[in-house]
Chains A and B, each alone.
Chain A
């Protein structure tokens, strides 16, 4: 059964949102910080969502990916959908 790990998600986030001195790290407690506080806007999240939908063959609602959410919430949401589909 397919599952997404935090490292998979981090990789997608870096690809969609860029990396560099100006970009907050995704390590440590960042998984519980709001995307907005990590510098991800709605557009960067849409780029991530597109990648998640494609990779895991799921459809995410718009409300599930607001900048107020956290990486862990997104991770749990995707794994919940994958569990339900299994």
Chain B
């Protein structure tokens, strides 16, 4: 008998809401968190919008001791973890320390922290670099800090696959559950909204420019012209179903029922993209047919060629217009591994409330996207299972199925 991995707690830090209820209300209302950057002056850069989290007071959530040694995104991750554990009604101090794991995804590390230290190094010399630089910027920092703060000593890890990371971490969390781990903290929080991070984002040549935040990120639209970065993400508490029941978990949002990942072939090979295959594998893994899926959370990158490929993949597997498709990330931007983790959290909330959150700002679906049933206003629907898709730069392609608890 294979153990069942269920999601029992969610912690969300998103540009349009902190905490699940704020985020979920804003998301159903179509409130966008994409705005002109305030963290630094973006006037000199060709792209000036981001999904920036404002109104987060780290001192209210993070022990004072941790403030000097943490990047902004780690503070968000620590806050989100606290919320997720609270949501799950889980008290780590009362649980077996080796029975709790932390597996997070990360894409950029603590880039803003690193930016400050690089500035000291190059302008004033190596002796000015902080002792905390040795870990505050690296990709493993969130897993390390979460495990320390909550005394979690089980098998832990950190995965990097750009936007796909949140799904890959959750897939890995399920492996740990299947090997006997009662509880895994997973998901991801990312963000690099410092000028140095911004220049790195810009270098990919994929960001949207323009002067209207409501027209900046338009996946599947004829006017799609790039994406908008955002910061934040979600932390999920994943537990073995019987263990969650035994401790009286506050709720079960759903089961991590299916997962698969792959990577695209090199463009010059002429081989097909990974997405349709990965979707089918995730459905097989869940033991579901396409018709069982109530909603697809799209990767929705906002670049015409990739949008077309995704629309074609969805239609190839599900049939034209046969499944509702949505991209609530149109309200927050692309959050790297935080984005795919946030989409899992959003899918959990959609299953809980039997409502599909909207895709905002998109008005004119392009080409094959016109065949999609793109949900543009919150829609009540009977939802048994949700499919979450994510693709990361370099061809990383992952799919994850969340099934409503029976």
Give chain A's interface residues, CB within 8 Å of chain B. 15-23, 39, 43-44, 46-47, 50, 53-54
Contacts and interface: CB of A to CB of B under 8 A. Distances in A.
A47 B65 contact: no
Contact of B64 (A18, A50, A53, A54): A18
A18 B63 contact: yes
Contacts of B130: 47, 50
Top 7 nearest A-B pairs by Cβ distance?
A20-B64, A18-B64, A47-B131, A46-B131, A23-B64, A18-B67, A18-B65
Contact of B65 (A15, A39, A53): A39
B59 interface: yes
Q: Is the interface of A mostly helix, strand, loop or mixed?
A: helix
B128 A54 contact: yes
Contacts, number: 43
Interface of B: 59, 63-69, 127-128, 130-132
A51 to B, nearest CB: 9
B72 to A, nearest CB: 15
A19 B127 contact: no
A20 B128 contact: no
Contacts of B64: 18-23
Given A18-B69, A23-B65, A44-B65, 13 more contacts: A16-B131, A17-B65, A18-B65, A18-B67, A20-B59, A20-B64, A21-B64, A23-B64, A43-B131, A47-B130, A47-B131, A50-B131, A53-B127
27 contacts: A15-B68, A16-B68, A17-B65, A17-B68, A18-B63, A18-B65, A18-B66, A18-B67, A18-B69, A20-B59, A20-B63, A20-B64, A20-B67, A21-B64, A22-B64, A23-B63, A23-B64, A23-B65, A43-B69, A43-B131, A44-B65, A44-B68, A46-B131, A47-B131, A47-B132, A50-B131, A53-B127
Most buried by B among A18, A19, A50: A18
Contacts of B131: 16, 43, 46-47, 50
Nearest to B132: A47
B68 A47 contact: yes
A21 B190 CA distance: 28
